[in-house]
Structure 1
Amino acid sequence: EPIWVTAEKQGLITASYFWPGSQAKIKGIQPTYWYPYDGDVPNEERVQQVLKWLDLSRDKRPAFIMTYFSILDDVGHEYGPNSSEVIAAIQYVDSVIGILLDGLHKRDILNRVNVIVVSDHGMAEISPERVIYLDDYIDMEDVQIVDWNPVAAINPEAGKEEEVYRKLKDAHPHMGVYRKREIPERFHYRDHPHIPKILAIADEGWSITSHEGVRPHYIRGGNHGFDNRARSMGALFIAHGPAFKSGLLVDSFRNIHLYEPMAEILNVQPAPNDGSLDSVKVMLK
């Protein structure tokens, strides 16, 4: 379960300004304060609302607050991760985070509040020169494509699974193709009934589409969803506050481990999860 659900179940007040998933009731629970997603709301307005929540009286003030900025993802997709536009977007997001930190400083709580900055994925450069067209190899009438790019989730029609698999298996040197039972265990994506019968995974920087379905924004700019071992898929983690050691650079870690230290900081009992506090406790005081 998400950390805000754990916190709410144990009597804490939580708040979310557009954090993914917070609009949905999970185990019947949502944050005490939340907004339906509207990408047109300026990021500065989101930060000001975070500060307003911190100004509430103790009995109404959230113990855990989340907000989300999409601009880096949007710009990265459109222009690619190595573009000047992405550099400008990074500088802009940095300035917005600066508004938050300045607000904490003015309230004399900068060193009393724990601030965590994370990203959910990286971004790789893609190109019209690196495109795999499935209809070069199979009849699209023989399959249903649940998801396209860069991981194609393919459900063949009845009686067509073996033929489709055989045609795709070694079709392209930059596309790995797996039957459901063959999907590498490290992806943790194999056993659920909804997982497709065939999975086609593009190499880093490549795109999967069809001649009919191709769109310019599918094959230029940037994309994510590639093999998570690729350095370009790595995410960001920065933390500051009384719970964290200062000036510490830690080795990379899987983001599933973040739930445990957040539960520790909030002093709530964690729900069963796949993370480990031992994996990240080196960063905690």
Structure 2
Amino acid sequence: MALQDIDTEVGKLLDRMEALDDDEKFNLVIFSDHGMTTIDPARTINITDALNSEPGLYTTIMEGTALVSIYTPNKQAEDKVFTLLKDMSPHMHVYRQEDIPARFYYKDGPFVSSITCIADLGWTILQPLKVDFPTKGATKMVGYHGYDNGEVDMRGIFYAYGPYFKPGSRVDHIQAIDPYSVMCNILELTPSANNGSLAVFEPLKAVSGGNTVFASILSVWFSGVVGLLAWRAG
């Protein structure tokens, strides 16, 4: 299995790191951009018939499964679509653009649709342009992401090892935008302007304050499913 292969190779890498002399040691950081959750064909919400109930209700529809973006041609169509969908299922939340929760950091984007539908964790929204349950090849998918960012399953991982980090330390929660700051700090680089925080990593540092003298870093990106290999950030 892929996860077992990854786990084996990471284990070999850690063993080789441990055998290095102190002046050759580097930092390994493994993190993901999101988590994953289980999906099932028994938990679907099909909005196809509602959106096709009369012509001209939408100009295009994007995404599917966890989130659906519906672009309407005018305010009248927007109102109609909202009315059709808002009470369709207790497992789907329907928002006008201005009502999308601020914690999603999404609603003010220039290309956000007039209507956004978000499924509850593990539920799948089917829509006119994606009427079938999601598959990969001929196999139905069993996991997906893109749900409410407040759900624990949607959290990514952050796992680190090396001279910069204090063994056994952990933090309760970091944001996806935070690892950039700590990677720059390890490399003694000045980060570009960003909204991440270096301060959240203070409990993890082997030496408080200032940059570490060990400036080499190896970073590895995995998909959210590799959260099975490491503790969840938060």
Report if TM-score (shorter chain) is over 0.5. Answer: yes
TM-score, length of structure 1 as denominator length: 0.64
CA distance 1:145–1:110, shift in 2 (3 Å): farther
1:101 maps to 2:18: no
Alpha-carbon distance in structure 1 between the residues aligned to 2:23 and 2:40? 43
2:198 & 2:26 partners in 1: Cα distance?
20
Q: Does the 8 A contact of 1:137 with 1:171 survive in 2?
A: no
- What root-mean-square deviation, in Å, do the aligned CA atoms of Structure 1 and Structure 2 show? 2.2
Secondary structure of the structure 1 residue equivalent to 2:185: helix
Match of 1:171 in 2: 88
Q: Which has the higher contact order (CA 8 A, sep 6+)?
A: 2
**Worse-superposed segment, 211-220 or 144-153:** 211-220
The question of 1:134 aligning with 2:47 is answered yes
Measure, in 2, the Cα distance between the counterparts of 1:211 and 1:181.
24
State the match for 1:119 in structure 2. 32
The answer to whether the 8 A contact 1:261-1:277 is kept is: yes
Shift of the 98–111 alpha-carbon distance from structure 1 to 2, 3 Å rule, reads farther
- Quote the Cα distance in structure 2 between the aligned partners of 1:213 and 1:258: 35
Q: Which runs of 5+ in 2 are unaligned?
A: 207-234
- 1:34 matched residue in structure 2: none
Code of the residue aligned with 2:27 in structure 1: it is N
Of 243-252 and 187-196, more deviation after overlay is shown by 243-252
Alpha-carbon shift at residue 109 of structure 1 (Å): 6.5
- What does residue 185 of structure 1 align with? 102
Match in the other structure for 1:30: none
Structure showing the higher helix proportion among its residues: 1
Q: Which amino acid aligns with 1:225?
A: G
Report the 3-state secondary structure (helix = DSSP H, G, I; strand = E; otherwise coil) of the residue aligned with 1:160: helix
- How many Å separate the matches in 2 of 1:192 and 1:228? 17
Amino acid of the structure 2 residue aligned with 1:162: D
1:244 pairs with 2:165? yes
Moved segments of 4+, more than 6 Å: none
Match of 2:195, as an amino acid? D
Whether contact under 8 Å (1:261, 1:281) holds in the other structure is: no
What pairs with 1:218-237 in structure 2 (closer than 5 Å)? 218=135, 220-237=141-158
User: Is the CA contact (8 Å cut-off) linking 1:110 and 1:241 kept in structure 2?
Assistant: no
Structure 2: which amino acid aligns with 1:114? N
Name 2:130's counterpart in structure 1.
Answer: 213
By how many angstroms is 1:214 displaced?
2.9
Name the TM-score, length of structure 2 as normaliser: 0.77
- Number of residues paired by the alignment? 198
Q: Which amino acid aligns with 2:65?
A: N
- Show structure 1 runs of 5+ residues with no match: 1-87
Q: 1:148 aligns with which of 60, 64, 67?
A: 64
Contact 2:170 2:203 in 1 (8 A): no
CA contact (8 A) 1:201 1:226 kept: yes
Specify which of 61, 70, 73 is matched with residue 157 of structure 1.
Answer: 73
Can you list the C-alpha shifts for 1:188-227, whole angstroms capped at 9, x where unaligned?
0011211111110000010011377333435751111111
CA distance in 1, matches of 2:7, 2:22: 20
AA aligned to 2:154 is M
